[in-house]
Amino acid sequence: MKNGKSSLYDDLKRQILTMELDPDEDLDEASLSERYGLSRTPVREIFRRLEGEGYVDIRANRGARVIPMNHSTLRNFFLVAPMIYAAIGRLAVQNFKPRQLSELEDTQERFRSASVSGDALSMVLENNRFHEIIGEMSGNAYLQPSLGRLLIDHARIGHTFFRPRTDDMRKRLQTAVEHHDGFIAAIGSHDEDTVVDLVFEHWELSRENMEMFIAPQGLKADALVEMPTPSMEKSS
């Protein structure tokens, strides 16, 4: 059974990944202390831990906030993500342990089940965990923190991918499920080249979906502006 400290840590991570907490949103230390039955000290310890993992930003005399997303962070994300994912994939093939492959398979089954049932929040979390495990397989102390930071924004930017509204988006989601199966098979057979090829296919799928989220198609510039009718123009 989780204690208040563990629950707070897990809940804040989940709420940030699933956008229940918005980027740049302030975290109210007092209300969290009351809600989880904790004093201020353990709440601040959780904030510091989450800051080290890239989830929150602690500002002097202003408290903690959810890590922001802005033009600079998005640009850097799109620049480095495929390189880090590819390096992680190669190292995962070289260094994975059987128990990690088994955990990857279990996570994939939960992701697949969530995709069938349409459970968007579970898909976000299981997809994030799937790629975290591949990072753990790499066993690289330099790349894993970078991967962890990337996955936070990957989840936040692409969360609408897991709420498909069109047949095309549903097909894309199915392709993502198939990519995961491919990762498992290629890692299990120690096939580095196939893993790297899948990384770039998976990244391209993700990139297209994230671009649709950032710049949705079909939005008219005047969609939210009430244009005056001819009669209104005459009366003025």
User: Would you list the DSSP string of 169-205?
Assistant: HHHHHHHHHHHHHHHHHHHHTT-HHHHHHHHHHHHHH
Which CA distances in Å does 76 have to 81, 167, 216, 236? 8, 31, 21, 50
Identify the structural domains of the chain with CATH numbers, from first to last: 4-66 (1.10.10.10), 71-214 (1.20.120.530)
Contacts of 101 (CB under 8 A, 6+ apart): 137, 184, 187, 188
pLDDT value of residue 209: 76
d(C-alpha 220, C-alpha 140), whole Å: 46
Within 10 Å of residue 20's Cβ, how many Cβ atoms? 12
232 pLDDT band (50/70/90 cuts)? very low
pLDDT digits (tens, 9 = 90+) for 183-231: 999 999 999 999 999 999 999 998 887 776 666 555 555 555 554 555 5
pLDDT value of residue 233: 47
Nearest to 134, CA basis, from 161, 168, 107, 154 = 107
pLDDT digits (tens, 9 = 90+) for 150-195: 999 999 988 777 877 788 888 999 999 999 999 999 999 999 999 9
pLDDT digits (tens, 9 = 90+) for 113-151: 999 999 999 999 999 999 999 999 999 999 999 999 999
d(C-alpha 234, C-alpha 223), whole Å: 23
pTM: 0.84
Unique residue bearing structure tokens 């949705």: 216
